[in-house]
Amino acid sequence: MSSLPRRVKSEAKPPISEDDELPSFLSSSSESEEEEEEEWEPKSKISKRARLPKKNEAKPKKRAAPRTAVARSKVRKAAIKEETDASFTIAPAEDKRMQLLKPKEEDVDTDPKTLHQKPEVPKRVEMHSFQGKNVESLESDEKPSTSVKHEKSEEDFAFDEPPFKKMKSTTSPEGKPVKNLGGNKVKEEFEMNWDIVQALSEITNVEPWVCANLIRLFKEENTIPFIARYRKELINNLEADALREVQQALEELRAVAKKTHTTIQKLKKEGKLSGSLLTALLNCRTSEELDHVSAPYKTGSKGTKAQRAKQLGLEPAALSILQNPMELNLFSYVKPNTKGLSTIQEVEAGVQHILADIFAKDKDTLDFIRKLCQQRYICIQSALAKVSSKSGNEKDIDKFQLYHEFSCNIKSIQHHQILAINRGENLKILTVKVNIPDGVKNEFCWWCVNERWRPKQFLKPELMRILRNSVEDAYKRLIYPLLCREFRSKLTSDAEKESVMMFGRNLRQLLLTSPVRGRTLMGVDPGYKHGCKLAIISPTSQILHTDVVYLHTGQGFREAEKIKRLLLQYNCSTVVIGNGTACRETEAYFADLIMKKYFAPLDVVYCIVSEAGASIYSVSPEASKEMPDLDPNLRSAVSIARRVQDPLAELVKIEPKHIGVGMYQHDVSQTLLKATLDSVVEECVSFVGVDINICSEILLRHIAGLNANRAKNIIEWREKNGPFINREQLKEVKGLGPKSFQQCAGFIRFNQEYIKTFCSNTKKEPGSHAFMTKAGGAQGKKKGKPVSYASQQPNPLDQTCIHPESYNIAMGQEHIKLMRSLFSSGTSYVSEVVYRFLSLIGGNANDIGKSDMQQKVNAVIQKEGLEGTAKRLNTTVHTLQLIIDGLTQPEGFDIRTDFDKPDFKRSIVCFEDLSVGAVLTGKVENATPFGVFVDIGVGKAGLIPVRSITEAKLSKVKKRKSLGLGPGERVEVRVLNVDIPRLRITLDLIRVL
C-alpha cells in the first residue's frame, strides 16, 4: 500500500493559549504511529457524498474545486487544528513565510492551473492560527490577530473518508529548486526582533535559503540521515555533521526565544514590563544577554542599586541630565530624614546608578563595546591558585603545569586549552580571568560621553562629572563582567561543540570500520588472576565455544596445548585480543607461539581491539537476553571478537560515550553529547543499511524513523508472518505510519536471493505467508487493507539505496496500470523516475549490480552527461546520481569496504626497541584537536602533533572534508622522540596507507 496522509480531525479543539504552546523541537510528535492506523478503501469503493456548498458571491479569479474532492456530510462550527502528514503539506497562500523553497511548477507532475487553486468554502468554517502572539502588541497599535481565515480546497475537509495520497509535495521535490520562492522568512512560534533564518545563517555560515529549508524539514520531523541522502537539492548538498550543527544552533535560538517570552509574560503579570524593557528582551539572542537584561527584575532579590534609586524617585532626575539638564536641581531631591536621599552625595550616587543601568542595557552601547573588543587584543589568563598550591594534590596540580602561568588571545586559543582551563578552575587548581586592555575602556567612555549619550543641552560641571562617573560605573560594574561572561561562555560553548563533534567524527570512523567477513575468530579478554576468557565465534557470529585459560600464572605451556587444540578443532586462524589489563603480556604470549610456528599447519595472526564498554555491555539487560547462559566475563570475550567481525552491529549495543574515542567528554554538556552521538549512530546504521530479515532488534532501532517500539513491532511481525518480501510490507507493521515509512524505507535492504528462494518455496504451500498476509486477508473486526499484487512480489530495487519515492513499485506497464487502478491520482512522475531511466538505458531491474547494467549506464551518461540525462528525465542531478549508484553497485554493497580493516600482526615490538628515525606502520586510536594518537604496537600510543598533519600527507583517494584522521586508519610514521621515563612517543606522519 502507498503511504497516505493523515485525515483532518473532525473533533473540535479549543485554541491553544500562549502559555500552553511549546516550540516544535520540544513538542512531542503529532504522529501517533504507535497505534494502528484505520483502514482505508480504494476510491472505487467509496460512495459519493454531498459537496460543500459554495459561496454565492462571484469571484472571477477563483476556480472551481477539483471534481475528485470528497466533502463531509455536515459542516460544524468548530475551531479546527490541522494535522497533516509530511507527504501532504498544506500552507496558506496568504503567508508564504512558512513555505518550503519549492521547485518550479514545470518540474512537478501536477497541472499548474490547479496547483495553486483556492476553492471557496463556507464562511462559517473558520481556521484558527496557533502561532504564538507577538508581545510587541503591548507597545504597538498593530495587534496580530489570533484568528485567521484560511481558504482550503474541499478535499481537505473530508472528515468521513481519508484523503487520497498525493505523490508530490513540497517536502518531496524533484527538479531544480528555486531559492527565493516564498522568501526566506519563516514564521516561528515565538517571534523576536531578529529573524531566525538570518540569525541561524550568521551563526552557522550556511546560506539563508538553506536554513529556511532546514527549519521546515526539521519541523516536519525529518531525520538527518533522510535529509542528507534524499533532500540534497534543498540543503545544497550539506553533510550530516553540518546538518547537526544547524539543528543544534536552531534549538538554541528557539530556547532563547521561548525563555524570552516566558520572562515577558512573567514580568507582564508582575506589572514590571515597560516599553524599553520589552524591546531589550526581544533583542536578546543568547541566554547571557537575556540573563543580563532580566536579572534586575527577578522576584525575591533585593533589587539592583538602580532599582532602589528608582524607588526613591530619582529616575526623573537621571533622565533630565540627558534630556533637559538646564531645569534640573538635585538639591530639590534631598530629604534629610530619608535613607538614600539624606545628602546631596547620596542623591548623586542614586542618579549615577540609574544612568549606569540605562547605559548597560542599551543595545547600541553594547554593540559598540563588542565591536571595539573584536578590534583589540583580548586575552584569557590562568594562574595557579594560592589555595591549591598549599593544600592541593601534587599529582593533580602537575597535570595543569602548562596552565600555571598561561596567557593567550581569545581569537587563537585552542578548544582543548579552554576545556583544560575550565577543568582546572572547577578543581580549584587554577584561577582564570579575561583581560581587556584599558584602551578599550578609555575609548568606550569617550564615545559614550561625546556621542551616544551626549546631553542635548549644556551640562554644568557637577552634572558632567556625574555623567562621566556613570559611564565608568556602567563599564566597570555592569558591562565588563557581562563581556567576561560572554567571552568565557562563547569560548566554552565553542570548545564543547568542537569536542562533541570530534567525538562524533571519531565514533563514525570507528563504527564504519570495515568488517572482517568469512573468518572464524577467537576473542580473548586478557586478565591475570582470573585468567584470560576465550570465545570462538563462527563467520555468522554464532558462539561455538567458550573457555578460560591461565596464561600468566605459571601454566602457560600447558594452556598452549588447549589453545592449539581449539584453534585446530574450529579451523580458526585469527585471534582478537582486547586492549585491557594484561593485554601486553597476552600479546607477547601469542606472538611468541606464532613466531615458533606452534599452531602449524594454521597460519595464525592476531590483532588488538579496543574493549572499551565491553564490560559494561556484558552485564547489561541486552547481553543477558542475547546470551542468557553465559557468564558476564565470557560475554565480554564474545563482544571483543564480534567487534572485528562486524564493528557496527556490535558497537551499537554499547552507549556511545563508553566507547572511549573522545576528549574531555565528562566536561561537556551531557545532553548535547548524547544527542550528537545518538545521531551519529543513527547516521552510520542508516547509511550502511540493514537487512530487515536478519538484523537484530538493537540494530534496527537505530534506523532513521524507527525507535525501540517500532523495531520491536517489526521483529514481532517477522516472527509471526515470516520474512518481509518487499518494503511495502513495512506499512503493515503496527505503529509504522507514513512518516516513519518515508524516513526508514530507503535504509532497509532485502537479500534478493533469500527472498526469491522463500517465495519459490511458499508457492508450493497453500496458506503460506505470501498469500495470507495481513493486507491480503487478515481476519478481524476491521476490514482488511486492499490486496496489492505488488506487495506479494519481491522488488529488485529493495536491495539498493534508492528510496521508494523515486522508483515504481512494479517494473512493467501492466503493473503500472494496476497501481493506477488502486490510486485515483495515478502513479506520480516521481515514482516513475527509475522506470523511465531503465527504459532510457534499455536495462532491466533484475540486472542491478551486474556489469551489463554498469555498461549501459555509462554509455548513456557519456553520451548525454549527468545534467543532460537528469534534464531529460525531469529530475535533479542528486536524485539521478543516487539512482545510478543504486543500480550499478554490486549486490550486497557495503560502504564500509572503503574504510580500513584491523591491522593483523604476527610479531611484537617492544618499547625499548624504538629508535629515533625508525619508520613504522600503525593504526589511529583517537583523534583530538591537538594531535592524533597512533598504536604502533608497543603498548603505548604515540602522538602525531597536529602541525605534522598536512594535506600533502593525506590520502587523496579518500574524500576528506578536513585535515583530520580518524580511528582505525592505517598510517606510516617516523619516530621523532622517545621519552622512556614518561612513556611518551612523538611521531611524524609520513603518509596515510
Phi-psi category of 349—alpha, beta or left, where left has phi over 0 and alpha has psi -120 to 50?
alpha
Q: Reduced to 3 states, what is the DSSP secondary structure of residue 280?
A: helix
CB atoms within 10 A of CB 459: 19
Cα distance between residue 864 and residue 881, in whole Å: 14
Cα distance between residue 385 and residue 185, in whole Å: 51
> In the chain, how long is the greatest CA-to-CA distance?
108
pLDDT number for residue 559: 87
Residue 15 cell numbers, joined:
485554541
Cα distance between residue 492 and residue 987, in whole Å: 30
- Flag whether pLDDT at 357 surpasses 80: yes
Residue 422 cell numbers, joined:
575550565
What is the per-residue pLDDT across 29-42, written as a single tens digit (0 to 9) for each? 333 333 333 333 33
What is the per-residue pLDDT across 658-710, written as a single tens digit (0 to 9) for each? 887 777 888 888 888 888 989 999 999 998 888 888 888 889 999 999 999 99
Residues facing residue 932 across a β-bridge: 927, 944
Closest to 973 (Cα-Cα) out of 984, 986, 956: 986
Question: Between 226 and 982, whose confidence is greater?
Answer: 226
Cα distance between residue 831 and residue 827, in whole Å: 6
CB 348 within 8 A of CB 394: no
Q: Tell whether omega for the bond before 119 is within 30 degrees of 0, i.e. cis.
A: no
pLDDT number for residue 392: 59
Crossing angle of helices 363-374 and 480-511, in 10° steps, is 60
Q: Which residue is associated with the grid cell 522568501? A: 183
Across all residues in the chain, what is the average pLDDT? 74
Cα distance between residue 404 and residue 390, in whole Å: 14
Q: How many alpha carbons lie under 13 Å from residue 840 in its C-beta half-sphere?
A: 22
Eight-class DSSP state of 479: I
Cα distance between residue 450 and residue 453, in whole Å: 7
Q: Which helix (H) or strand (E) holds 605?
A: strand 605-609
564-573, 578-587, 824-833, 954-963 — most confident range: 564-573
pLDDT number for residue 986: 86
pLDDT number for residue 570: 93
Q: Reduced to 3 states, what is the DSSP secondary structure of residue 945?
A: strand
Q: What is the mean pLDDT of residues 292-315?
A: 80
Residue 211 cell numbers, joined:
536554513
Q: Reduced to 3 states, what is the DSSP secondary structure of residue 46?
A: coil
Cα distance between residue 915 and residue 936, in whole Å: 13
Residue 784 cell numbers, joined:
482488511
- Please state the length of the chain: 993
Residues facing residue 524 across a β-bridge: 534, 577
What distances in angstroms separate CA 332 from CA 66, 309, 317, 329, one per listed residue? 78, 15, 10, 6
Which residue type, as a one-letter code, is found at position 534?
L
CB 673 within 8 A of CB 654: no
CB 40 within 8 A of CB 162: yes
Check: pTM over 0.85? Answer yes or no.
no
- Flag whether pLDDT at 546 surpasses 70: yes
Interacting residues of 909 by C-beta distance below 8 A, sequence separation 6+: 920, 936, 937, 938
- What percent of the chain has pLDDT above 70? 71
- Number of alpha helices (DSSP H) and beta strands (DSSP E) in the chain: 34, 17
What is the per-residue pLDDT across 822-857, written as a single tens digit (0 to 9) for each? 333 333 333 467 777 888 888 777 788 888 888 888
Per-residue H/E/C for 243-262: HHHHHHHHHHHHHHHHHHHH
- Flag whether pLDDT at 105 surpasses 70: no
For the stretch 537-557, what's the b/e string if a residue is b when 16 or more beta carbons lie within 10 angstroms of its beta carbon?
Answer: beeeeebeebbbbbbbeeebe
Q: What is the mean pLDDT of residues 716-727?
A: 89
Q: Which residue is associated with the grid cell 542528507? A: 228
CB 605 within 8 A of CB 905: yes
What distances in angstroms separate CA 33 from CA 38, 598, 741, 839, one per listed residue? 11, 59, 10, 37
Eight-class DSSP state of 602: S
Cα distance between residue 768 and residue 427, in whole Å: 67
Cα distance between residue 660 and residue 175, in whole Å: 44
What is the dihedral sign for C-alpha 629, 633, 639, 641?
Answer: negative
Question: Between 551 and 828, whose confidence is greater?
Answer: 551
Closest to 168 (Cα-Cα) out of 107, 210, 82: 107
Eight-class DSSP state of 854: H
| pLDDT range class, residue 901, cuts 50, 70, 90 | low
Residue 387 cell numbers, joined:
589555595
| pLDDT range class, residue 288, cuts 50, 70, 90 | confident
Task: Please give the span between the terminal C-alpha atoms of the chain, in angstroms, as a whole number.
Answer: 48
Cα distance between residue 843 and residue 988, in whole Å: 51
Question: Between 605 and 972, whose confidence is greater?
Answer: 605
What is the per-residue pLDDT across 781-818, written as a single tens digit (0 to 9) for each? 444 444 444 456 788 888 888 888 875 422 334 444 43
CB atoms within 10 A of CB 530: 12
Cα distance between residue 470 and residue 444, in whole Å: 13
Closest to 575 (Cα-Cα) out of 559, 587, 562: 587
What is the per-residue pLDDT across 588-608, written as a single tens digit (0 to 9) for each? 889 889 888 899 889 899 888
The burial class, CB within 10 Å (0-12 / 13-18 / 19+), for 531 is buried
Q: Which residue is associated with the grid cell 536554513? A: 211
Interacting residues of 165 by C-beta distance below 8 A, sequence separation 6+: 2, 3, 4, 5, 87, 88, 823, 825
Q: Reduced to 3 states, what is the DSSP secondary structure of residue 84?
A: coil
Alpha carbon dihedral 392, 397, 398, 404, in 10-degree steps, equals -130
Eight-class DSSP state of 177: B
Helices (DSSP H) in 722-751: which residue ranges?
738-744
| pLDDT range class, residue 277, cuts 50, 70, 90 | confident
Residue 843 cell numbers, joined:
536495462
Q: What is the mean pLDDT of residues 56-72?
A: 41
Q: Which helix (H) or strand (E) holds 991?
A: strand 984-992
What is the per-residue pLDDT across 183-213, written as a single tens digit (0 to 9) for each? 566 778 888 999 999 999 999 999 999 999 9
Residue 270 cell numbers, joined:
508582575
Eight-class DSSP state of 542: -
Cα distance between residue 415 and residue 494, in whole Å: 7
Cα distance between residue 362 and residue 87, in whole Å: 46
What is the dihedral sign for C-alpha 935, 937, 940, 942?
Answer: negative
Residues facing residue 690 across a β-bridge: 748
Cα distance between residue 305 and residue 470, in whole Å: 12
Q: What is the DSSP track for 86-124?
A: TTS----TT-GGGS---B-GGGSSS-HHHHT------TT
Q: Which residue is associated with the grid cell 520491536? A: 712
CB 809 within 8 A of CB 819: yes
CB atoms within 10 A of CB 78: 16
pLDDT number for residue 226: 93
pLDDT number for residue 22: 36
Q: What is the mean pLDDT of residues 450-474?
A: 88
Alpha carbon dihedral 585, 587, 591, 592, in 10-degree steps, equals 10
Rg of the chain over Cα atoms, rounded to whole angstroms, equals 34
Cα distance between residue 753 and residue 891, in whole Å: 10
The burial class, CB within 10 Å (0-12 / 13-18 / 19+), for 334 is middle
